[in-house]
Structure 1
Amino acid sequence: MTSDRTARRQSALTESLERLSGAHPAIAAVLREVGPPEPRILEPGFASLLRIMVGQQVSTASAAAIWARLVEASGDTVSGFNSLDDEALGRVGFSRAKMRYGRALADSVLDGTLDPEGLEALPGEEVSSRLMALPGIGRWTAEIYRMFALGDPDVFPIGDLALREGVRMALDLPERPDLDVAERLTEAWKPERSAAALLLWRLYRRRRGIAVLGADSPPIVDNSAQAQR
Structure 2
Amino acid sequence: MTDLETTGDTDFHAEAVRALGAAHERMGELIARVGACGLRAGAGRGGDGRSHFTALTAAIVGQQLSPKAADTIFARVVALGPGGKLPDPAGLLEIPEDVLRTAGLSGSKARSMRDLAARIVEGTLRLEALDAMDDEEIITSLSQVRGIGRWTAEMFLMFQLGRPDILPVGDLGVQKGLVRLFSLRKLPRPERMHTLMRPFRPHRSVACWYLWRLNEMPADVLRPPRRGR
| TM-score bin (small chain) | 0.7 to 0.9
Output the CA distance in 2 between the equivalents of 1:163 and 1:139: 15
Kept in 2: contact 1:143–1:157 (CA 8 A)? yes
How far does residue 102 in structure 1 lie from its aligned partner after superposition? 0.7
Give the alignment's TM-score, normalised by structure 2: 0.82
Kept in 1: contact 2:139–2:153 (CA 8 A)? yes
Give the aligned length.
204
Output the CA distance in 2 between the equivalents of 1:96 and 1:59: 18
Output the CA distance in 2 between the equivalents of 1:205 and 1:118: 36
Give the alignment's TM-score, normalised by structure 1: 0.82
Tell me which residue corresponds to 1:72.
79
How far does residue 173 in structure 1 lie from its aligned partner after superposition? 1.7
Identity score, percent: 33
Summarize the Cα distance change of 1:24–1:78 in structure 2 as closer, same or farther, 3 Å threshold. same
Extract unaligned runs of 5+ from structure 1.
209-229
Output the CA distance in 1 between the equivalents of 2:210 and 2:128: 26
Extract unaligned runs of 5+ from structure 2.
43-49, 220-229
Output the CA distance in 2 between the equivalents of 1:198 and 1:116: 25
Paired residue type of 1:110: V
Paired residue type of 2:24: H
Tell me which residue corresponds to 2:207.
196
Task: Please identify, of 12-21 and 38-47, the stretch whose mean Cα deviation from structure 2 is larger.
Answer: 38-47
Tell me which residue corresponds to 2:226.
none
Written as runs of structure 1 = structure 2, the 5 A alignment for 1:2-81 is: 5-8=6-9, 10-42=10-42, 43-74=50-81, 75-81=86-92
Q: After superposition, give the CA deviation of every residue in 1:163-220 in whole Å (9 maximum; x if it has no partner).
A: 1111111112223223332233223321110110111112212348xxxxxxxxxxxx
Higher relative contact order (CA 8 A, sep 6+): 1
Tell me which residue corresponds to 2:94.
83
SS at match of 2:184: coil
Written as runs of structure 1 = structure 2, the 5 A alignment for 1:204-219 is: 204-207=215-218
SS at match of 1:7: coil
Structure with more helix by fraction: 1
Kept in 1: contact 2:138–2:153 (CA 8 A)? yes
Q: Is structure 2 residue 154 aligned with structure 1 residue 139?
A: no
Summarize the Cα distance change of 1:207–1:176 in structure 2 as closer, same or farther, 3 Å threshold. farther
Output the CA distance in 1 between the equivalents of 2:196 and 2:32: 21
Kept in 2: contact 1:34–1:206 (CA 8 A)? no
Q: State the Cα RMSD in Å.
A: 1.8
Greater gyration radius = 2
Output the CA distance in 2 between the equivalents of 1:76 and 1:21: 43
How far does residue 44 in structure 1 lie from its aligned partner after superposition? 4.4
